Amino acid sequence: MMRMMHRVFLHNWGLKLIALGISFFLWATYTAEPFAQVAYNVPVAYVNVPDGLAVGGAPPNIVRVVLRGRTGLLRRLTPADLTLDIDLATAPSGEVPIRLSPRMVGVPYGTEVVRLAPAEFHIALVPTSTPPEASE
């Protein structure tokens, strides 16, 4: 048993030491990268609009999203990488208040939503006009 432990830990000890050094260097490089905050204009998608209703008025189609994360990751992001879907499946007809929360924004791993603007707004769900059926 002792011989096996000796072989596992000390066999090729030079290569193991080099691997440990490389691992430490990569870890130190990653953790030394500073955090930053960057703002993006993210398009809004209104999904699951109830049948017979449509989004009316002038709802916002872009929301300003401020993200916090590592500088290298934020530098590679574009607004197309972010999503903001507002689910209207249970919304009633008429004026509907919308309150945005950070969890509504689809962001990549390693980033977090710091701020949304506007964080609240109203939309109007109006009945769609259906053409009268033709009588024969």
**pLDDT means per 10 residues in the chain (136 residues)?**
78 87 86 85 91 87 93 87 90 90 90 93 85 53
Contacts of 39 (CB under 8 A, 6+ apart): 64, 65, 66, 67
Q: Which pLDDT does position 4 carry in this prediction?
A: 81
Under a CB-based contact definition with an 8 Å cutoff, are residues 85 and 49 in contact? Answer: no
pLDDT of 129 reads 74
Output the pLDDT for position 31: 72
Per-residue pLDDT at 132: 54
Query: Quick one: residue 9, left, alpha or beta (phi over 0 = left, psi -120 to 50 = alpha)?
Result: alpha
Predicted pLDDT at 93: 87
Residue 110: per-residue pLDDT: 86
pLDDT at 56: 85
**Per-residue pLDDT at 113:** 94
Q: What is the pLDDT of residue 131?
A: 56
